[in-house]
């Protein structure tokens, strides 16, 4: 007889009691499911960019040390939540078992391939073996199992896209979907980290939404990195600037917008200390969307206050309604972008 669990997964929290699974220090990762849980045979973990960058740096890019770090995280926490960045990632796998309270209530069945759209930082996980590490695309193949709570969201893997490609895109689906919500016709938009995985999707969506009366600017860290989005025509203007140099960012955007600055700034980078560059790139009453998990929100809030900016700042929620469909649709609409993503991420 399966036990009844909380829809939010609080029954899995071991330490400290009384918190939700994401902020918990340790969760119960025993794989006997409650009646409102889904058991998944895990195939691939897509570690979020900020987290995997930190792990690779800590390991000196040694694959064996990366394995040790990841296994230790899961052993200590019962989930893959990087203790430095606090973030996780997502996974793809096959539905092994659906709890009795959920059977017939969902659009999936046992045997379906899914991508979880909730963070690994709250997902009970067991890693039996790490079989492959693809360092360039932040993906790790494993043998293991995971638990999806009743409140957990997921997407059935599409039949028309390679699995690893779909996983890469779904991992950052919140960014282009939020861009679609925030950008209006005629807006000036700056995408910081525009040459990266989430950045290029945001550029595409921003250009689509801002229209011919808008302006989309791609900001990346080097001239070389700008070559790819420029070859795809994803933006109107391109600039190579160190995003951690706030004054350099401000001066560059000032020049490109004739001093008008941006209505919307989308931050997609995976490094620290880019908060002030993002804020100064926006109009005084502009909007900044921090998708990056490397963002320090205390720095952002106090920094905006310190320079007298009435900036609306949005935390990068990885979920927004329809985000999976919006992101996958981009690859269906753009053959050129799809080809690049297949080369880079699948």
Residue 19 vs residues 12, 22, 189, 315: alpha-carbon distances, Å: 10, 8, 38, 21
Using the predicted structure, report yes or no on whether residue 294 has a pLDDT greater than 90: no
Residue 190 vs residues 41, 210, 267, 281: alpha-carbon distances, Å: 40, 11, 8, 8
CA distance 174 to 260: 28
* Average pLDDT of every residue of the chain: 93
- CATH 3.40.50.720 assigned to 174-345: yes
Residue 70's pLDDT band (boundaries 50, 70, 90)? very high
Query: Mind listing the pLDDT tens digit for each residue in 194-241?
Result: 999 899 999 999 999 999 999 999 999 999 999 999 999 999 999 999
User: What residue spans define the domains of the chain?
Assistant: 10-157, 174-345
**What is the pLDDT at residue 172?**
86
**Is the bond leading into 16 cis (omega within 30 degrees of zero)?**
yes
Instruction: List Cβ neighbours of 258 (8 Å cut-off, separation of 6 or more).
Output: none
**What is the pLDDT at residue 41?**
98
Give this prediction's pTM: 0.82
Q: Which position has the token pair 């609080």? A: 10
Question: Is the torsion defined by CA of 16, 17, 19, 25 positive or negative?
Answer: positive
Using the predicted structure, report yes or no on whether residue 151 has a pLDDT greater than 80: yes
Compute the radius of gyration of the chain from its Cα atoms: 20
CA distance 214 to 128: 50
CA distance 123 to 37: 11
CA distance 197 to 133: 18
Query: Mind listing the pLDDT tens digit for each residue in 82-103?
Result: 999 999 999 999 999 999 999 8
Mean pLDDT of 150-154: 92
Instruction: List Cβ neighbours of 96 (8 Å cut-off, separation of 6 or more).
Output: 39, 40, 41, 110, 145
Instruction: List Cβ neighbours of 109 (8 Å cut-off, separation of 6 or more).
Output: 95, 98
Contact 114, 92 (CB under 8 A): yes
Using the predicted structure, report yes or no on whether residue 331 has a pLDDT greater than 80: yes
């Amino acid at each position: 007889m399966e036990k009844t669990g909380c829809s939010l997964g609080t029954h899995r929290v071991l330490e400290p009691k009384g918190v939700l699974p994401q902020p918990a220090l340790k969760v119960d990762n025993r794989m006997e499911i409650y009646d409102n849980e889904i058991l998944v045979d895990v195939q691939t973990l897509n570690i979020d960019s900020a987290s995997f960058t930190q792990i690779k740096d800590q390991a000196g890019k040694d694959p064996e040390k990366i394995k040790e770090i990841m296994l230790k995280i899961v052993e200590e926490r019962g989930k893959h939540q990087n203790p430095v960045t606090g973030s996780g990632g997502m996974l793809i796998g096959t539905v092994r078992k659906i709890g009795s309270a959920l059977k017939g209530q969902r659009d999936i069945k046992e045997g379906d391939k899914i991508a979880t759209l909730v963070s690994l930082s709250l997902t009970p996980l067991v890693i039996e073996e790490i079989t492959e590490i693809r360092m360039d695309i932040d993906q790790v193949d494993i043998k293991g199992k995971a638990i999806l709570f009743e409140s957990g969201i997921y997407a059935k893997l599409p039949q028309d896209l390679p699995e690893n490609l779909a996983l890469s895109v779904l991992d950052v689906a919140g960014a282009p979907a939020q861009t679609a919500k925030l950008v209006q016709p005629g807006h000036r938009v700056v995408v910081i980290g525009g040459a990266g995985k989430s950045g290029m999707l945001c550029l595409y969506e921003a250009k689509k939404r801002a229209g011919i009366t808008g302006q989309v600017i791609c900001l990346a860290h080097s001239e070389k990195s700008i070559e790819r989005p420029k070859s795809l025509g994803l933006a109107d203007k391109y600039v190579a600037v160190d995003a951690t140099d706030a004054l350099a960012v401000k001066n560059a955007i000032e020049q490109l917008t004739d001093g008008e600055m941006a209505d919307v700034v989308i931050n997609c980078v995976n490094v620290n200390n880019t908060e002030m560059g993002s804020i100064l790139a926006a109009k005084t009453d502009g909007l900044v969307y921090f998708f990056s998990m490397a963002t320090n929100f205390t720095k952002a809030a106090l920094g905006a206050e310190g320079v007298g900016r009435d900036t609306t700042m949005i935390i990068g929620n990885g979920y927004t309604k329809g985000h999976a469909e919006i992101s996958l649709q981009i690859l269906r609409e753009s053959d050129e972008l799809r080809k690049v993503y297949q080369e880079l991420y699948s």
